[in-house]
Amino acid sequence: MGGGGREGRSYRSRTQRKHFKQSRENVWKRSKSDPSAPDSTDNPTWQPFATQNPAFDEYYKAQGIVAAEEWDRFVEVLRKALPAAFRINSSSQFCSDIRSQLENDFMKSLQAEVSEDSEAGAIRPLPWYPDNLAWQSNFSRMQLRKNQTLERFHEFLKLENEIGNITRQEAVSMVPPLFLDVQPDHFILDMCAAPGSKTFQLLEIIHQSTKPGSLPDGMVVANDLDVQRCNLLIHQTKRMCTANLIVTNHEAQHFPGCRSKSNASNKGIELESNINQLLFDRVLCDVPCSGDGTLRKAPDIWRKWNVGLGNGLHSLQLQIAMRGISLLKVGGRMVYSTCSMNPVENEAVVSEILRKCGGSVELVDVSTELPQLIRRPGLRSWKIRDKGVWLASYKDVPKYRRTGILPSMFPSGRSDVDPTDNGHKHENGTNVNSEDALQPMDNAVASVDDLDAEVSDLPLEHCMRLVPHDQNSGAFFIAVLQKVSPLAVEEKPLSPEGNSVPKKDDEPHTTLLDHIPEDKNGKVEVADDTNEKCPEGGSTEANLIDTEEGGATLEVDSSNACEIHDTEETEMHFDKETDSGRIGAKRKLQVQGKWKGVDPVVFFKDETIISSIKTFYGINESFMLNDHLVTRNSDAKHVKRIYYVSNSVKDILELNFRVGQQLKITSVGLKMFERQTSREGTAAPCSFRISSEGLPVILPYITKQILCASATDFKHLLQYKTIKFPDFVDAEFGENASKLMMGCCVIVLRKGSNASTVPVQVNESTIAIGCWKGRGSLSVMVTAVDCQELLERLLVRIETQKDNSMPENNVEAAEAQDPDNNGTKEGTDSIGIAINA
């Protein structure tokens, strides 16, 4: 979910770790103890989840989504579980290794699990995705979890996904970013980003051609309305280790444009930004929808589905899309997408965008792109169903329903009605305003073929619809729009604060909740979409195009302050340390500009600390630290974490300061340094260690506290975690390690028999880990998952010695006896493996 009002939200306390474990109930899965399980002898009357809905069949048969002769096949596939799909991270250091393992190992070993008459293999690359980077298995997610023979493959998927080498993602969900034509220097907005799989995909693309230690010129702003979903988004994209990402928490249809005025006061902040307005080269507008394209993975939608879901979301989807167009640069491209098959949510929205924008926006024909992707052209004619009645045009809409059924829902978009006709009649002669008309009519269905449906004169065939039975996938809708000239709109007068002043005769706000049907308990039921988004409420019909984005931000309700919390906790950095002086004390409410309860974003300018970091690690002057470091703590003396931002992110932050911090930022930058607070850490010459996320970026510029280790010693470090200096196989390496200053250091895997050289030459294949040099030993600070994954990769890449020089029992004894272990285990997820791409 990425936009909407606050009416439908409950205000919860700050997000906890447990919230990340909460996910949508898997209705395909039954626990072994479930008495309703199909193999249970206690309940022989058990029936599978209902996978049919007469209203669904009637609606989509009438819309002509597929030809009549295809209908049975279409529904048959919809009722089957969705095959699992995943995508290899193209910017991962081990991208080629993983692809090779899939092609040469799993494709062959899993073939026995597929029936001989099956045309599809056990796993196969998706033919339309470039470079064999996206794969689909012939097994559902439940089969992967339950089948013992698939256990090795399932464990492989889980491990690589957690590390960030692959992303488990529905196949059709991978399509929209591919049609954006993203370049490394593009500024990209993902308007409704959570849970973040498409954001991760966009980051991969801009990082794909960068060299080790360098950052792309482009960046991604990922936005979502819900705070907890923002946290999920942060956790997902954290695996990418990027300094080119900002995560924001706004209603998508009111996303601020941060226009800077030359006479604006900086309130003492002297900043020079290269941009004066927040505009984007690419916009991904994957809006909240009814989600009936996800029936295969969420069969509970079958019983929830009704026509009111799509009708109720149309207005919001249009607002979000128009906001995206207004934030798009001239010449830029926007992809509008949904996981719904409903033309009211798809073609109707695209049509209204084209009408509102005149000739400023064009629908792009991308039929020649991704030629192996099977797609259907968009519809040019469709009908509206409301309250059991089919409507061919807006003039058929009864007066009392015109707040919910809008002209933009129809193919022509015309609102011409007879002003004297207050009680419109249906084509069968019944008065639609009568009470009887509120109930479905028997002959309404029979007469649908006789309706004189409107036909759009717009080139909607350039849109594309993916249907499940074409390539064994979910359903999706995609439209590619290009902004060819500025929008011809009138700027609104501004208040002294720079916000737009509403006109006195503005129409009353029309909320989404007015358009969505309620159940008997008064609760709104809306199905989740592909990314498990929820519809956004509280949106207004007016002001779809607003060239002065200063008025687009909303004031934060004070009751929401408890929900927006410490970003350092949000990013799942669960520091177990507790300041003894603050035990039991309430945390001071943070303020980020006008956003209460959000940690501030502050440029870190403590020259003493920055100088000590540069000196300790011998950071080359060519690496720009100054003006690229930020923190989330306004008290520079108590900073725990320092984040690094790219040039593009730095420019946006400076612009945000100039315009009064209109962006509500929940996460920004790449965690580069962390304060070491253990007893031994405070005695080190530098109190800040390099984080695992930041190590790949800064590695080429480190000239001190860095050593090269042989393959054997490197493997031993990963296996045993702590090794005393005399116990290293390479005695020279052990001696050199003992001469390092106490504190954080970096160990690089030596290539072949090359001698250790400083500075270390870094390229795409360089593997490095962060360690802690204690008084008598070297301790690697890598999580168990990271160690497991890297060791498996090294077995393929490195010819290790047959016999380990150091017996395992000696190493274990060294671990038990080494007093340096005390305190060095702190933050095991803070120093880790450097993966260069």
Output DSSP code: residue 600: P
- ∠ CA(680), CA(682), CA(687), 5° rounding? 120
204 closest CA partner among 280, 93, 278? 93
What's the rounded Cα separation, in Å, for the pair 315 and 599?
Answer: 33
Distance CA 512, CA 69 (A): 37
**What's the Rg (C-alpha) of the chain?**
29
Total Cβ atoms within 10 A of residue 543: 19
What string of H, E and C letters represents the secondary structure of 239-260?
HHCCCCEEEECCCHHHCCCCCC
Q: Which of 646, 650, 691, 697 is closest to 672 using CA atoms? A: 691
C-alpha distances in Å from residue 106, one per residue of 111, 113, 131, 137, 171:
8, 11, 18, 10, 19
Q: Which residues touch 614 (CB under 8 Å, ≥6 apart)?
A: 625
Q: Which is nearest to 63 in space by CA: 451, 516, 529?
A: 451
140 forms bridges with which residues in the sheet?
A: 83
- Long-range CB contacts for residues 709-713, cutoff 8 Å, separation at least 24: 709/733, 709/747, 709/748, 709/749, 709/750, 710/750, 711/749, 711/750, 711/794, 711/798, 711/799, 711/800, 711/801, 712/800, 712/801, 712/804, 712/805
Residues 6+ positions from 205 with CB-CB distance below 8 Å: 90, 177, 182, 184
Distance, CA of 72 to CA of 75 (rounded, Å):
5
Nearest to 49 by CA among 292, 293, 302: 302
Active-site residue flag, 285: no
Structure token digits, residue 794:
């090294």
Q: Output the DSSP codes for 518-564.
A: B-TTS-B-----TT-----B---SS-SS-S-GGGG--PPPGGGTTTS
Is residue 51 within 8 A of residue 302, CB to CB? The reply is yes
Angle at the Cα of 320 from the Cα atoms of 293 and 86, rounded to 5 degrees: 40
Do residues 232 and 23 lie in contact, with contact meaning Cβ atoms separated by under 8 Å? no
According to DSSP, the β-strands at 280-286 and 328-338 are parallel
What is d(CA 658, CA 274) in angstroms, rounded to the nearest whole number? 12
CA distances from 359 to 60, 284, 295, 353, 482 (A): 32, 21, 37, 10, 10
Give me the numbers of helices (H) and strands (E) for the chain, helices first please.
Answer: 24, 29
Find out whether 785 and 639 touch, Cβ atoms under 8 Å. no
Q: Which residues, in sequence order, are bridge partners of residue 376? A: 465
Structure-block tokens of residue 398: 């009864």
Task: Say if residues 222 and 233 touch (Cβ distance below 8 Å).
Answer: yes
Does residue 722 contact residue 780 with C-beta atoms inside 8 Å?
A: yes
Q: How far apart are CA 809 and CA 814, in angstroms?
A: 9
What is the C-alpha separation between 221 and 191, in angstroms, rounded?
Answer: 8
Angle between helices 784-797 and 711-720 (to 10 degrees): 150
Tell me which residue of 340, 329, 359, 273 sits closest to 56, measured CA to CA.
340
Catalytic residue chosen out of the listed positions 95, 285, 289, 339: 339
C-alpha dihedral (730, 734, 737, 739), degrees to nearest 10: -130
644: enclosing H helix or E strand: strand 641-644
Catalytic residue set: 339
